[in-house]
Amino acid sequence: MNRGFGDWDGSIEDAKRLQRQLAEQVVLRDDFADPPRWLAGFDVGFEQEGAITRAAAVLLDAESLLPVASEVARVDTTMPYVPGLLSFRELPALLAALDRLPHVPDLVFVDGQGIAHPRRLGIAAHFGVATGLPAIGVAKKVLCGRHEAPGPSPGDRTALIHRGERIGWMLRSKARCNPLVVSPGHRVSMDSAVDWVLRTLRGYRLPEPTRLADRIASRRGDLLG
DNA sequence: GCGACAG
DNA sequence: ATCTTGTCGC
């Protein structure tokens, strides 16, 4: 394919048109190695007052959840942050980081929404369609949709609904912590999306793939501590 | 028209 | 996202 932006002309309106077009290509069924061998987590941070976009990619062994590699890619920031168009700002850096990993992951976790998006193409879904890789979106806040508050225990969840459609889950990953917004991105079912987030938790609010990528992208240190 | 609004 | 230490609550 290209780089994930097809024939986008650079305008806001055309970006939305492309999102609706790419959203039609999203696959919401489980279609990845069973069991997956390699997992990967992705997140973005910024340097120089936002002039540079820094993407972090961490590869983990699916069985042990231990990181086996981590890469950082820096690219010039081109677009401003616009709610609903996040991927147009961050996807280029994420793809650059992906290219640096020593192995192609079997399942990817991206910090942000999957299909829990106004046009069903959050950054995790865009990443999935652009790369063809199975992806799950793990966000810290809701972009759109309504929901009931999930119970207090880890694992408790409620449905996130937008315009009558089921678009994701509100998941309590850890006691006394705000719930996560989990939604499938590509080649992953609604149920597997939450199951995999739960299976990769390590006592923190965020699942390991995203938690580790977060630390690196935000310049807090390496894979230790 | 008004408020909300991933990172 | 980012600027940033201690502090309140469980």
A87-138, pLDDT tens digit by residue? 999 999 999 999 999 999 999 999 999 999 999 999 999 999 999 999 999 9
Class level of CATH domain A12-217: alpha beta
- pLDDT at site A166: 97
- pLDDT at site A219: 76
A123: nearest Cα among A17, A19, A14, A8: A19
- pLDDT at site A221: 64
Say yes or no: Cβ of A219 under 7 A from any atom of strand C. Answer: yes
For chain A, the structural domain boundaries read 12-217
- pLDDT at site A2: 73
What do you get for the CA distance between the two ends of chain A, in Å? 39
* Residue ranges in chain A modelled with pLDDT below 70: 1, 220-225
Task: Please give the Cα distance from A9 to A32 (Å, whole number).
Answer: 33
Q: Which two tokens stand for residue A117?
A: 């998006």
Which residues are bridge partners to A66 per DSSP?
A: none
Say yes or no: Cβ of A112 under 7 A from any atom of strand C. Answer: no
Say yes or no: Cβ of A44 under 7 A from any atom of strand C. Answer: yes
